[in-house]
Amino acid sequence: MRIGVPKEIKNHEYRVGLIPSSVQELVHNGHQVLVQAGAGLGAGITDADYVAAGASIIESADQIFAEADMIVKVKEPLAVERKKLRKGQILFTYLHLAPDLEQTRDLIESGAICIAYETVTSANGSLPLLTPMSEVAGRLAPQVGAHSLEKAQGGRGVLLGGVPGVPAAEVVILGGGVSGTHAATIAVGMGAKVTVVDRSADALKRLAAQFGTSISTVFSTRAAIEELVRRADLLIGTVLVPGAAAPKLVTHDMVRTMKPGSVIVDVAIDQGGCVETSHATTHSDPTYVVDGVVHYCVANMPGAVARTSTFALNNVTLPFTLALANNGWKKALEQDVHLRNGLNVFEGKVTCEPVAEAHGLPYVKAETAIGM
């Protein structure tokens, strides 16, 4: 199989779909890998590194999309890239289709076989290809939140950990999953007063066992969120419903009650955000202010630490990339229900139920679509 790795073109996106060791594994299995010139530079990987691993360097993205049987990316294809996709071509990347009708329509029209990292599952019910980026985004959230709290950035001028005689900032984390747990780890390490909110009793027990008295845990109700949002210096939203748009747990009215200069970091923005006043921003223009509250809503947060993110991502995507290359899409999808759960759009049909529901589109089961 010919596998194409185009350079990412999303604003300040420095990650890359494959690293040299992944290329070497694919080449060893008899496949050809086409990497666009300069695709890995943002993650500290040179064209020479790819050539040494057995890849061919291609100058243009047009040629890669035209020649490759499978495209391996990191972020969802932008409109100009979606026009290059063709019927029967495999697209393996993050898609986040539930809040993005335009992309969904374009992928339907392309006829491509579109497999989303974020809905591939595992035997224990987790999302293994989303986990490393959730870990990175969670760990980044207190870091960017602390920076946004600085007065020069429009924040309250509060130091997250405080100093002797001056209290630490109050950090409220909505969601105790992977991102929320990692956000709590860093926020606690920075000396903040941390509260994690979740509706799962099991998640709250796990957090209490992990952190002890270093954090407070609160069961999620509207009343609890209202109170905690009002008190927060830094609010971090990490709520996830796999494949679906994030629920709006924080209303505009709640945002109006927040302290002037407080900060919201909406990690859930890839799936539409869990705060009513959130809209996606970029690394070049990461924040905006609503009712005196600074919003940080960068849709590709892990791109800021591209090398760490790229290598972490490849650690989990490579087995699936190899399966698709070695077996072809049909056999790979038939043999592995977890990879099949990643199938979002197949030759014009929406095969992910939450995406279909989000956009009012017909839903076809993946098994039916691929002819099992």
Contact 352, 243 (CB under 8 A): yes
Integer CA distances (angstroms), 128 to 88, 134, 268, 347, in order: 26, 10, 17, 25
CB atoms within 10 A of CB 222: 10
270 catalytic, yes or no?
A: yes
Helices (H), the chain: 20-28, 47-53, 61-67, 79-82, 101-110, 131-148, 178-189, 201-211, 222-231, 252-256, 306-335, 337-340, 353-359, 366-369
Distance from C-alpha of 356 to C-alpha of 149, rounded to nearest angstrom: 39
Among 106, 198, 266, 270, which one carries the catalytic annotation? 270
Coil, strand, or helix at residue 255? helix
182 catalytic, yes or no?
A: no
- HSE-CB for 329 with a 13 A CA cutoff: 25
Integer CA distances (angstroms), 4 to 21, 56, 289, 338, in order: 15, 10, 40, 23
Q: Which residue in this structure is represented by tokens 């604003």?
A: 11
Among 31, 96, 182, 295, which one carries the catalytic annotation? 96
Distance from C-alpha of 135 to C-alpha of 335, rounded to nearest angstrom: 29
* Positions marked catalytic: 96, 270
